[in-house]
Structure 1
Amino acid sequence: MYQVNFLPWRQRRDRRRGCFWLGALLLQVTLLLLALFLVAGQLRHQQAQRQARLTMLGEELAALTLLAHQQQQERAQRALHSARAERQARNGQHNRRYLQLLQQLSFSIPPPLWLTELDSDATNGLRLRGLSRSPAAITQFERRLAGMPALPRLRLAEVTQRDDGLYSFHLAAQWGRDG
């Protein structure tokens, strides 16, 4: 029988198979590394995009915060101006009422009577102190003041005669910023 030595042929075939599988393994490793590099590059790109977006949003937030702060300051300024205008209007109204009261008082004072003190505040109202030579002038003055709508609940608080013969009197009425 004729014998053929297949050993070199098998060795070549095994070497070719080994080279093929080694090449396939290297190709797979190369493709895997390439895929990893592509994924890493994609992740870096996405991270850079996120960072850029985060920076942009941070700038927008800073701008919006500044705008909100400016608007809040403007609202506070408007409220301050509005409160100041309201306060000035109330003060003007109070001053007009006070001027009107003083003008009415000047026409209501009988000749033998002098006002020595005029005091007013929102808590205690209006207090008038004065001197007169006769109690009738005090009564006449009280009646004239009681007829004024600006002085509700007027009352004669006290009348005393001093050593020099003059009568000292004290009138009190409701008075304040509101009425």
Structure 2
Amino acid sequence: MSNIDKQALRERYSEKPAPKCHICGSVMTIQRAGAGSVVYGCTGRIDKDGEGYKFAEGRDFADDHYARSRVTDYGPGGDPDVLALLDELEAKDSTIATQQQEIRTLLNALEQASAKSRSDIPEEKRLIGWRASDYTDETSDPELAKNWAAAIGVLPIFEGDVNTKLSAAAAGKGEAS
């Protein structure tokens, strides 16, 4: 965030009929109004009826105290500090929106790459039976295959094997086709 004085902005936009002078504490009067702003200043006038221009002791019209006490109230529009702050916030919002879109794009690309890599990996074939190592007998019965293993070599048969007579449906029932 920039060096914009937030407390000054709060004071500028808080409700107050006429601010007090930060130098002497007197109520300031409107010195100029227009273009969306009001300028208050401490004139040192002590006359209540607005006639006669009586000033406090040591004060005169438009003295140094007046120049140092002036405060501009921008009211509902035109404050350059507020506009700068809004510009800064809008730029950050735009940057965040752009970054969020880039993140969504990257996540979609990652998801597609992950799905493609999963499809590139061949599925594991399901075991449907066993055959004698000399290819003379086949079975889907695990107990029979264990008996064979004691006397001869036994090889697994997987789903999709073109050299088998076993079907995947029969394999689940322990039958040979």
Normalized against structure 2, the TM-score is what? 0.39
Q: Identify the structure with the greater helix proportion.
A: 1
Normalized against structure 1, the TM-score is what? 0.39
